[in-house]
Structures are given as C-alpha cells and as structure tokens.
Structure 1
C-alpha cells in the first residue's frame, strides 16, 4: 500500500497505466522499481527528458516541450554562464567549509546585500528541506519554545522534522505534536476584506492553544506566496499584521523563500511585497540553477543561541563548486534582469489567463505575482474544485508538449512557475495549448 499525497500524487503515473506505454518508456518505468515504491513520476505517460535549453526540454526522440513548471533551473536549462563557472571550479578544487576559500565569502556577502541589513549572517546547506530544518532548530533555540505554526496545506521539505510540519505530504503522515495549522489564506473563497487581520487572529488562536497544552510558541513558518496551498499572493502588505502578531507572541517569522525567492515574484524576495523583515529566511531550489545549494539567513542575535550550543558542519554544503554556481546565477539574474522580466512577462501572462477565464468558466480564478501564477479549475458557475478536470487539463497540455502541474488541497490549481527567462513567444505557446485543451479536451 502506498500513501496518497496531495502534492505528490496529483497528475502522477500509476502502475495500471503501464500497458498504455510505448516499449522504451515502459522499459524505463519498469526498471524504476529498483528505486522503491516511494518515488512518483509526472503524467500518465511519463517523459524521458534528456536535455534542455532555456525554457525548452527535449525527450529521447528529440521532441521539444515547453517548461512552464520548473523553477530549479531559474535562469533556464543549461545556462552557459553556470556551466562555465562550475566547469572552471571543478578544474581547480572542490572541498568543504573547514578550509578557507574566497568563493563562499564573496557569495555570502553578495547574497546578504540583496536582503535587509538586519539579516547579517548566512549558513549554507544542500536543499530547501535542510534549510527549513535548520531554521526551525534556530528558532527553537532562540525562543526556548518548540511550537511551530504552518498553513494547512504547507510543504516545507522532507527531513523528519520538516515532514512533520508539511501537511500536504498526506493525511497518513503524522504531524508534530507541538505544531499547529492555520487555514490557507484562500483569497478566492474567503469572504474577508482584511486578510492580514484574519490570518493574524488565526495565529493568535493557535498560539493560545499551544499555551493551553504547555507548548511554548517558537515561530511561524510560511512560504509567502503559499505555493502548495494553491498560490495565493494576496495584496501586497497583508502579511504585516501577521508578522506583528508573531512578534507580540514571542515567536520568530521564518520566511520560506525556496519557491518565491530570487526575483520570481517581481521582487527579489517574496517577503519584500509585504514590507516586512523576517527573522530568518530560507532559500534553495533556484539559487544555483540546478546545483544542490541552499541557505539560511538570519539576524545575528537569532542565530547566536543555536551557534552557542550546536557547532554546524555539512560536508558538501558551501563547497567551492556550489558557490561558483550560485554566484554565476546571481550575477546572471542581475545582468539579464530576471526581476524585470518576471514583472513584465508575468503581467502579460496573468492578463492573458484572466481573459481566457472569461471565455472558459472552468477557470474560476487566476492570481499571481511575477512569474508565479495559480489558476483554479472549478465546476463551471461555482467555486467548487474540479480535480478530475484539472488532471485532464494537465494531461491535455502534456499532449500539446507543454509541461506544468497542480497544487492546492484539492489538487485543482494549475501551478504556473516557468524558468525566469520565459518570454512572449513562450506565453503564446502556453496560451495556445491551454485554449485548445479547454476547447477540445
């Protein structure tokens, strides 16, 4: 028996689909049994992708696909500057942080220069999961509490600690006894004009419940565009009263920037949209364009309590090669103005999608910031999620060689999150495929 998961099982391959596959794809899918049953594949007809360039991917037969989902190669697949930086550093040395090396210092200073001055220390890891794991431990050491609040469909990673703070992994996955959940800030279905006050009150309510159970509140861990909850950017600034409530309660605000960070939302960091300063920031996926690299940035006083009790070392984190890739990525983001492109092309895409929604009532709501957009697939004339229709839509797009995915508690929200080099020709291909799929199935 395999456990179902909203985030993992929406739009995934199932063994009963094996008979429909061509011989080569079936052979590869069958061989994957060696990896064990926990892994998942996208699509009823999985893809064997062998190379990529920019926003385009190519399978083993040379068929070209448009990538409208993959934020890990944030600069686009196979970016030449990152390739060159990694190759050059591999030809010199690649070791760990117990030795002095300029790369990690230069990049740390450059990375922190993109953040508010209060965030003046940074530690490096390999994945967003590790970054969030460390951030929670830092928050707990600083506050003396253990209680962490997340949203009801959050995904923050897959370490043992963070899995228990990631309800989207599945209903059969036990949550931490000292965690609490607040509802998703669903701007489509909630009837409130003051989302920030509504959310702050839920934080206070859950912190009070912690106190009743003898649990000291440590902090709020949120992804500020609520990626797994269904992509809810909300109005800029709505998080301000939420962060104020967290601080009043003695906790810290951990901004999970693994998905919204690095210019995707049209600001360098997602939290900037809300005019707030986190106590801790976590980042990962896009920061080195596909090389394993993540980080935790924090205020000195917040980090100090953890540092005094827990010396930290991670063999592969902060290596010269990872730092070379991260620096090349950051440099290219500036040179290519990915932030401006996210605002400009994201705005075009958002308007195109909203226009399409007026034509097709299956698209109930479209919302986004920069190149991070969610579109609710619903039963026409209602706000009721329509998961089967969303899966048909994603599969139809795949047949038209456009790749994206689903999120949200009902698995009915199109998660549109392409590489940051998406351009108007990519928008045209995406919209043409989406319109044709809505019209013809």
Structure 2
C-alpha cells in the first residue's frame, strides 16, 4: 500500500507554479486558492467547497454563462479566421457596440486585451495631435505593454523614468488636498492638470491628451469632486489634446444607469478603450472612437490584429450584449447595487473601521481607517479581512494607494440573496478584526 501524499493538491500546484512561473507571479490570499469550476456568481475549489465571487468582473455576465458558451462553441465549430475576410459577425457586433455610445463615437477597432486597446489609443492620440505628452493620475494602471507601463504610475517602474508622461493627484473628495476647501477641490485638481500641460510646453514636449478611468477604479472608485471631469475635459481640449476614457473596468453597464462610466458626466471622450468583461473571459477588447481619428490613423498606419475581432470573438461579444439586455443586468446593477450599498452603509454605522463607502452600480469600495478622524489607512486590517472572508467562502480584494480599500465587484447576475451572504459574512469578519484592533 502506498503512503498518502504529503502535500495537498494546492500545495503541490503552488510548488510547481513557482518552479515554472517564478516566485513573483502574483497570487491572491495568504493561502492561495485552487479553483476548478465556476457557475454564475459561484466558484468551486478542488475539494468542492463553494465560494461567492464578489471580485471578478471578467466573467461579467456570470461564470460559464450558457449563452456565451453556446455562442463560442457554435461559431468555433463553423469558422474562425482573422478579419481580412468579410464576415457578418464583426460588422454586426461593432455596429451594435458603437450604438451604445454618443453619435460621435461611431467607429471601432478590436484587440485581444485592454493593454493593447490602451496602447492603440495612445498611438491614435499622438498621431492626431502630433504631440507626445500624456497626463494620467498619480496612481494609474492601464495595462502592461511597454507603452502603457510608461503611464502606469501606480505600479510600473517605467513610469518613473519617462519624460512624456505627467501625473496629477487622484481627485479624491474623501481625503482631499490639505488646506483646500471641499467646494474648491475640483478647481485645485484641474489646476494640477493645467500645470502639467504648461510643464510639457516648457520642456518642448507637445501635449497629446489625458487618459483616465472615468470612475477612477484603480485609485479606489473615487467620489470625485463635482464638476471635475467637465472642467478637466474642457481644459484638455482647449490645450489641443484628446480625452481617452479607459472603460476596461467600468464599462458594459457595471455602473448601472449607463452603459459607460463616462456617461455619468456631461462629457464625450474622443477615444474609449474596452476590455476585461467584453468577452466574459474570452480575450476580446477594443477601441471605440471618433471616425475621423480612426480613419486618419489607419490611413497612416495599417492596423491589423490576428486574433482581434475573429468570428468567434465577435460571437462571444454579441452573446455578452444579449445577456446584458435580455437578462436586464443593467437594471439589476441599479437595484441590487442600491441594496448592497445600503447594507454596507449600515455596517459603517456599526464599525468605525469603515471610513467611507463608495458605490456605483455593482461596484463598491469600502475605505478602511484605523481612526475616522485622522483617516489613517488600515492596510493591515484590510489584508486580514480579505483573508478571513476567503476562509468564510466569500472572495473580495483590495485597491487604492494604501491598499486599504476593500474592492467589491461581483459578476452582474449578483442578486440580493447573494448580497445577504456577503453582508452577513462581512459583518462577522469586521467584528473580529475590530476587536483585534482594539486589543492590539
């Protein structure tokens, strides 16, 4: 009789992973999770344990959504080629996709990843303006190619050495700017953008534009000062630049009342980039932009992507749109989102550890502080919470400059009964961690 194995499957996989991928490839949680199956808003590990997914926005319309799986299988069983042949799928899909935007955003280009989409947007902006200078926030993340790493002020070392990228402070109404009154915050942040434009001019670097996520998701799903986006956009356009809206996290109805986060403001971007949820896990991303920008760019630089916009990819994208519309998932983002937000704010009245709750549809940020007056970030407690939540079978993560903001971003079919599981579990975990904070 053979001896029982000395390692669990997860431990064995971790050792093999480190051996083949290296020790610095990121993993969630102190004890990594070995997942084998997903369905709807649920994930299952190798032992059969079920977890409520309150983090992943890539399976936008639910893990293994039947519409998406069937569309992928049907088209993959029929034809899959690149886009240098005529095919109905890419035309039908891009027409339907662009119809969700303002009339001026009338044309699309398809890629495989959000990183590619943002790099393509930068190329278009620089070609149109003749400039190189790009403005982002000081905690930005827009992908991981060399071109977008240069604007990745949140994580990427390339951003520390470039001269053609400048940053302004994240427009945070919760923490604000020392010495600046709340009603003056929007103008103070816009003044930083103006200063960056002036610095580019002084350095002989023509200005190309500004690239931001409209809901400032990576920065902490900020409640930005009223009027900031409108004033910043007007300034960028006056200076001859373009506004690029990165909708990779916020798009496809996540914010509930609108298809796109930028539609919450009285602005129209020149270029919008898409990714993550676009293919529900299938590698589908893209750019939607003004027709004159795309036509001028492609006349100058032929753009072709072997796997961007294949018949299979577009069939998948169409199935995602079908699910969003036919299952009323934007409406659900509003109703269930309001339900979750109310529950989180109720917890805020109970636990001083919660400094602020921010919500936009089915996207939530819970900022944790060790002191509600000083607003000292509770980074240690945030890490403790996400690991305890995982032990209690609920998956969340953290974001923000201090990594002390709970990030809750479930698949769009998330319902009130799922929210009850989340809120009940978070209540228990917050009570435990709050007691630990008091007793040291």
User: TM-score band, normalised by the shorter chain?
Assistant: over 0.9
Provide the rounded CA distance (Å) in 1 between the counterparts of 2:76 and 2:416.
36
3-state SS of paired residue (2:355): strand
Match of 2:219 among 214, 223, 229: 229
> Kindly tell me: are residues 336 and 76 of structure 1, through their superposed partners in 2, closer, same or farther at Cα, counting changes over 3 Å?
same
Where structure 2 has 5 or more consecutive residues not aligned to the other structure, the ranges are 1-5, 434-440
Alignment of 1:172-183 (within 5 A): 174-183=160-169
CA contact (8 A) 2:137 2:169 kept: yes
Provide the rounded CA distance (Å) in 2 between the counterparts of 1:175 and 1:434.
41
Provide the rounded CA distance (Å) in 2 between the counterparts of 1:337 and 1:211.
48
3-state SS of paired residue (1:250): coil
Matched, 1:244 2:244: no
CA contact (8 A) 2:368 2:406 kept: yes
Match of 1:410 among 402, 407, 426: 402
Measured against aligned partners, the alpha-carbon deviations of 1:230-269 in whole angstroms (never above 9, x if no partner) come to: 1114367541111111101110000000001000011110
Measured against aligned partners, the alpha-carbon deviations of 1:209-247 in whole angstroms (never above 9, x if no partner) come to: 111111111000000111111111436754111111110
Measured against aligned partners, the alpha-carbon deviations of 1:351-375 in whole angstroms (never above 9, x if no partner) come to: 1111101110011111121111111
Matched, 1:105 2:91: yes
1:401 aligns with: 393
Matched, 1:385 2:377: yes
1:332 aligns with: 323
CA contact (8 A) 2:398 2:405 kept: yes
CA contact (8 A) 2:149 2:156 kept: no
Alignment of 1:35-54 (within 5 A): 35-54=21-40
Alignment of 1:26-425 (within 5 A): 26-33=11-18, 34-170=20-156, 174-190=160-176, 191-234=181-224, 238-266=228-256, 267-381=258-372, 382-425=374-417
Provide the rounded CA distance (Å) in 2 between the counterparts of 1:172 and 1:385.
27
> Kindly tell me: are residues 346 and 194 of structure 1, through their superposed partners in 2, closer, same or farther at Cα, counting changes over 3 Å?
farther
CA contact (8 A) 1:254 1:279 kept: yes
CA contact (8 A) 1:233 1:369 kept: no
Where structure 1 has 5 or more consecutive residues not aligned to the other structure, the ranges are 1-20
3-state SS of paired residue (2:250): coil
TM-score with structure 1 setting the length: 0.93
Measured against aligned partners, the alpha-carbon deviations of 1:372-391 in whole angstroms (never above 9, x if no partner) come to: 11111111333111111110
> Kindly tell me: are residues 193 and 171 of structure 1, through their superposed partners in 2, closer, same or farther at Cα, counting changes over 3 Å?
farther
2:3 aligns with: none
Quote how far apart the aligned CAs of 1:68 are: 0.5
Quote how far apart the aligned CAs of 1:324 are: 0.3
Quote how far apart the aligned CAs of 1:199 are: 2.8
Provide the rounded CA distance (Å) in 2 between the counterparts of 1:341 and 1:364.
27
Provide the rounded CA distance (Å) in 2 between the counterparts of 1:66 and 1:377.
22
Provide the rounded CA distance (Å) in 2 between the counterparts of 1:291 and 1:350.
30
CA contact (8 A) 2:150 2:158 kept: no
3-state SS of paired residue (2:318): helix
Quote how far apart the aligned CAs of 1:177 are: 1.6
> Kindly tell me: are residues 146 and 24 of structure 1, through their superposed partners in 2, closer, same or farther at Cα, counting changes over 3 Å?
same
Alignment of 1:421-440 (within 5 A): 421-440=413-432
Provide the rounded CA distance (Å) in 2 between the counterparts of 1:195 and 1:401.
40
> Kindly tell me: are residues 402 and 355 of structure 1, through their superposed partners in 2, closer, same or farther at Cα, counting changes over 3 Å?
same
Moved more, 35-44 or 180-189: 35-44
Q: How many residues align?
A: 421
